Amino acid sequence: MQSWKSPALPGRQDTAPGELRLYDTAVQAVVPVGPSPGENRPATMYVCGITPYDATHLGHAFTYLTFDLVNRVWRDLGVDVRYSQNVTDIDDPLLERAGLTGVDWRDLAANQIALFASDMEALRVLAPDSFLTVTESLPLIEDAMSVLHSTHQIYQIGDDTADWYFSFDGRPGFGRESHLDGDQMRASFADHGGDPDRPGKRHPLDALVWRQARDNEPWWESVLGPGRPGWHLECAAIACSTLGTGIDLQGGGSDLIFPHHEMCAIQGQAFTGLPFARAFVHSSMVWLDGEKMSKSKGNLVTVSDLLGQRADPMAIRLALLGHHYRADWQWHPEFLAQATRRLDLWREAVHAVTSVDAGPAIAAVRDLLRDDLRADRALEVIDAWAVASLAAEEDHPGARQQMADLADGLLGVGIA
Ligand code: 5CA
Ligand code: ZN
């Protein structure tokens, strides 16, 4: 699938060497993520993409902005980045929405993917290098499934639907990403589309890898007969085929910690024989009306709604970046009003005739972002520089351009 158009990055400035540190859900600590200084290899990042049945809401946008910062910090460190993102364009909620609205599921998906891409472009999110839909990826998913089949790691359950399941079988390493105990896993599995109580399964946590064709559902031919793939295997197969094994970062919102990312890791390891990811990073949930913002519940504010109300996309970006990626927070329209004032201040300062040295502020912003993406505090550093610049009596040579380039390149906020 064609992704969106990336904004141009300003020329990279010389920076102090360093590394990006993030909270790894598996390690339960802030640790270096990506190549270490002097290690000459690209960073690899897979971020779980949208299920395209409704418009991008601010929770999705917050998640993709979090990983956009990761991408930008790595590039600022001089690291090449390989970024892959999927689109779950065949899934139960998408088929249900298509059925309810009388729209062909393919048209619903295509329209929502186009809307997502235009939202990402407006928010100046760097486009992934690989942006594969599941329907485009069936051959590579089938390759992964064939390995699982020939190595007897999947089985067919004996009722007349004959779906295929990944055999959990108490695998070593399962649980190291999410740290949940058995009861918690079972509950979370049931809450996120799993079927722990389905009769005929060998273990409640066995996950569907191939759903045999049903009447009125799309299906494809495969080595396991006609049907469609299971969610976790899709992401594991797309990640491994686009980026290889041992990727630096598997990312998504915290609602994907279990079962999705635990299952991706165990299934990816099962068909490659190698560890799936070095780090698992999760963005917090954005709430609205006392609950997680979600398409299924309908409590959401969409990016396209705000753009339709003439919000400046850079103000939307700033409203989201003002929250650290690790603590859940609730959306309030006042965040957009505050961000609009902040954007006005920054614009005024970079277009003013006076300024103070940007060097210390730029170094502080870099340190804050490298140390667990403290974008919320980095924005305050730029506020202070802007206020001081507007009150200054002289113009510090180059400072206003340097600050505009930093905001653009590292934070993705175009203020020129
Ligand atoms: N297609 C799957 C991933 S393979 C999926 O979860 N799609 S989604 O459309 O439901 O979500 C897309 C991304 O947005 C996921 O990373 C999800 O964790 C994140 N997300 C969903 N709701 C929120 C929210 N309220 N706040 C923050 N991130 C969210
Ligand atoms: Zn995924």
The response to whether residue 63 sits with its C-beta less than 6 Å from ligand 1 reads yes
pLDDT of residue 13: 75
**Could you give the count of Cα atoms lying within 13 Å of 177 in the half-sphere of its Cβ?**
25
The response to whether residue 52 sits with its C-beta less than 6 Å from ligand 1 reads no
State whether residue 326 is helix, strand or coil.
coil
Give the amino acid at 150.
S
Contacts 24+ apart (CB under 8 A), 2-6: 2/117, 2/131, 3/85, 3/117, 3/127, 3/128, 3/131, 4/117, 4/118, 4/120, 4/121, 4/125, 4/127, 5/121, 5/127, 6/126, 6/127
In angstroms, the Cα distances linking 272 to 206, 241, 248, 249 are 19, 10, 16, 17
Residue nearest to atom 24 of ligand 1 (CA): 59
Six token digits for residue 90: 């065949």
State whether residue 31 is helix, strand or coil.
strand
CA of 253 from ligand 1 middle (Å) equals: 6
Name the average pLDDT for the chain: 96
Residue 158 reports pLDDT greater than 90? no
In angstroms, the Cα distances linking 163 to 55, 158, 207, 214, 228 are 31, 8, 10, 11, 10
pLDDT of residue 154: 97
Span 65-89, average pLDDT:
97
pLDDT of residue 160: 67
| Omega cis (within 30) before 259 | yes
The response to whether residue 90 sits with its C-beta less than 6 Å from ligand 1 reads no
Residue 155 reports pLDDT greater than 70? yes
The response to whether residue 149 sits with its C-beta less than 6 Å from ligand 1 reads no
Q: Tens digits of per-residue pLDDT, 323-336?
A: 999 999 999 999 99
Q: Tens digits of per-residue pLDDT, 11-40?
A: 877 778 899 999 999 999 999 999 998 899
Under 8 Å between Cβ of 279 and 31: yes
State whether residue 276 is helix, strand or coil.
coil
Report the candidate in 260, 297, 216, 276 with the shortest Cα–Cα distance to residue 88.
Answer: 260
pLDDT of residue 170: 79
Six token digits for residue 334: 């006042």
Nearest ligand, measured from the Cα of 292: 1
Under 8 Å between Cβ of 264 and 235: yes
Span 4-12, average pLDDT:
91
Report the candidate in 77, 70, 73, 71 with the shortest Cα–Cα distance to residue 16.
Answer: 77
User: Which ligand 1 atom is nearest residue 287's CA?
Assistant: 25
Hey, which of 1, 46, 50 would you mutate to test ligand 1's pocket, going by the most ligand atoms within 8 Å of its Cβ? 50
Under 8 Å between Cβ of 228 and 217: yes
Task: Measure the CA–CA gap between 14 and 162, rounded to whole angstroms.
Answer: 59
Q: pTM for this structure?
A: 0.97
CA 350 and chain centroid, separation: 31
Q: Tens digits of per-residue pLDDT, 288-317?
A: 999 999 988 889 999 999 999 999 999 999
The response to whether residue 292 sits with its C-beta less than 6 Å from ligand 1 reads yes
Q: Tokens 């667990």 — which residue? A: 372
The response to whether residue 256 sits with its C-beta less than 6 Å from ligand 1 reads yes
pLDDT of residue 231: 97
CB atoms within 10 A of CB 9: 15
Residue 249 reports pLDDT greater than 80? yes
Q: Tokens 């779906």 — which residue? A: 163
Task: Measure the CA–CA gap between 180 and 346, rounded to whole angstroms.
Answer: 44
